[in-house]
């Protein structure tokens, strides 16, 4: 029976984050950045986007959040993998909402009624 191969182990991710924090780094190390990209690629590969641009934008937003918030991890919490997965997913969602904002049912465009244009709440 073959052993299942893991692309990124929680222990390795945890140890690299702790090492970076102990060194007092302001930015994640190149190795931690590589791990974030691996994590992001794995997560985004399970998503479906109609356009490649949306996929890339959401991926970039997820990575951006990982790079912005990497140092907020508390080493008392041992599951770094779950922590950073959630940060990446939240970043992807923020990116999606920025690209495709929800339309408010209560806003009605009355462009045809005015020369100024715009959206007005009724």
Give residue limits of the domains in the chain.
10-121
Structure confidence at residue 100 (pLDDT): 85
Structure confidence at residue 110 (pLDDT): 53
Taking the CB of residue 50, how many other CB atoms lie within 10 A of it? 7
Give the model's confidence band at 117: pLDDT under 50 very low, under 70 low, under 90 confident, else very high: low
Structure confidence at residue 3 (pLDDT): 46
Angle at 25 between CA 23 and CA 27, to 5 degrees: 150
Q: Which of 112 and 12 is assigned the larger pLDDT?
A: 12
Structure confidence at residue 49 (pLDDT): 86
Total-model pTM: 0.77
Structure confidence at residue 120 (pLDDT): 47
Angle between helices 80-99 and 30-44 (to 10 degrees): 60
CA distances from 114 to 104, 106, 117, 122 (A): 21, 18, 6, 15
How do residues 14-56 score in pLDDT, each as one tens digit? 999 999 999 999 999 999 999 999 999 999 999 888 889 999 9
């Amino acid at each position: 029976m073959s052993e299942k191969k893991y692309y990124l182990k929680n222990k390795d991710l945890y140890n690299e984050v702790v090492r970076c924090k102990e060194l007092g780094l302001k930015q994640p190390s190149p190795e931690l950045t590589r791990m974030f990209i691996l994590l992001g690629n794995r997560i985004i590969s399970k998503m479906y986007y109609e356009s490649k641009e949306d996929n890339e934008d959401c991926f970039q937003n997820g990575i951006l959040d990982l790079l912005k918030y990497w140092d907020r991890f508390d080493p008392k919490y041992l599951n770094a993998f779950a922590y950073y997965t959630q940060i990446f997913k939240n970043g992807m969602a923020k990116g999606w909402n920025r690209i495709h904002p929800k339309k408010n049912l209560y806003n009605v465009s009355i462009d045809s009624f005015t020369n100024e244009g715009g959206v007005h709440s009724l």
